[in-house]
Amino acid sequence: MRQSSLFTGALGIVLALVSPVQGAWRLIWSDEFNGPANSLPDPSKWTYDLGNNNGWGNHELETYTNLPENAHMDGQGNLVIHVETALSGYTSARLKTQGLFAAQYGRVEARIKLPSGQGIWPTFWMLGSDVATVGWPRCGEIDIMENIGSQPSTNHGSMHGPGYSHESALTAAYNLPGGRRFSDDFHTLSIEWSRRAVRFYVDGGSYKTVAVESIPRTAQWIFDNPFFLLLNVAVGGNFSGPPDATTLFPQDMLIDYVRVYQER
């Protein structure tokens, strides 16, 4: 969810669409978001980041809350992250599994319908569980889904670490064919993460692989530790830019499920 730039072709990143590697996967954690309408996210699985925190390091404009107005079940099997205007600017939600669940290797997947519009910045991502002690980017970051609302057909997959963060992140973009938009329907965003590589997928097609050999020679591969999950919708910020007169509010991100698998 940090600022990233489009990177193609170098550092060992593979952009060709291929079928995902087939294997025997065992589900180890999930949230299907099947609670009743207007119920809160399961507190045994999710907690929150709150406030504005000086723009979260990206000059963001939203304030994150734990209010049901900003994060709730819709009663139809989806979690809703709801973004709306307020006297203070904008309110949204940033959910995380920090302290409750972390994964180390496996398949991490969510089925999501995105919001859209200039200045809207939805993300499904992961941070190293040691972020509180070592800081960012030494903890590592994996952006499974990162979208700029003004580019409704494009998903950005990225990895940040010490020596390859911010504008030097290892990142690539996937564009839906035929001008389709991620806000038109649900799409499955996932990674397959092994000890020496992370492969990124949209709807089962792999568009990017980052391996140990992909990072700069002087940098450290730090993706061999547990990572926790995050879901949020930011407003404004370095990556998306601020809303403008074309941006409509409220905005909703719908999450059908989040699932984590390990190989048997």
Q: What is the pLDDT of residue 21?
A: 44
pLDDT band of 249, cuts 50, 70, 90: very high
* Cis status of the peptide bond prior to 20, with omega within 30 of 0: no
Known catalytic residue at 109: no
Per the residue annotation, which of 62, 109, 146, 192 is the catalytic one? 146
pTM for this model (two decimals)? 0.91
CB atoms within 10 A of CB 116: 20
Does residue 135 register a pLDDT over 80?
Answer: yes
Average pLDDT over residues 158-172: 94
| C-alpha distances in Å from residue 61, one per residue of 96, 126, 153, 200, 233 | 19, 21, 23, 29, 11
Average pLDDT over residues 14-26: 53
Known catalytic residue at 192: no
Distance CA 143, CA 190 (A): 10
Average pLDDT over residues 135-147: 98
Q: What is the per-residue pLDDT across 32-67, written as a single tens digit (0 to 9) for each?
A: 999 999 999 999 999 999 999 999 999 999 999 999
Q: Which residues contact 53 (CB under 8 A, 6 or more apart)?
A: none
Q: Measuring CA to CA, which residue among 27, 36, 72, 79 is closest to residue 186?
A: 79
Secondary structure class of 28 (helix, strand, coil): strand
Q: What strand order describes the sheet that includes 227-235?
A: 47-49, 94-96, 227-235, 120-128, 141-146, 154-160, 170-175
Per the residue annotation, which of 60, 62, 109, 141 is the catalytic one? 141
Please check whether residue 171 is in contact with residue 147, taking contact to mean a CB–CB distance below 8 angstroms.
no
Domain residue ranges of the chain, discontinuous segments joined by +: 26-149+230-264
Q: CB burial class (10 A; 0-12, 13-18, 19+) of residue 135?
A: exposed
The count of residues in the chain is 264
Q: According to the CATH classification, is domain 26-149+230-264 in 2.60.120.200?
A: yes
Q: What is the per-residue pLDDT across 68-77, written as a single tens digit (0 to 9) for each?
A: 999 999 999 9
Please check whether residue 109 is in contact with residue 251, taking contact to mean a CB–CB distance below 8 angstroms.
no
Q: What is the pLDDT of residue 182?
A: 98
Distance CA 2, CA 223 (A): 17
Q: What is the pLDDT of residue 13?
A: 38
Average pLDDT over residues 160-171: 94
Q: What is the pLDDT of residue 55?
A: 94
Q: What is the per-residue pLDDT across 251-261, written as a single tens digit (0 to 9) for each?
A: 999 999 999 99
Q: What is the pLDDT of residue 23?
A: 63
pLDDT band of 1, cuts 50, 70, 90: low
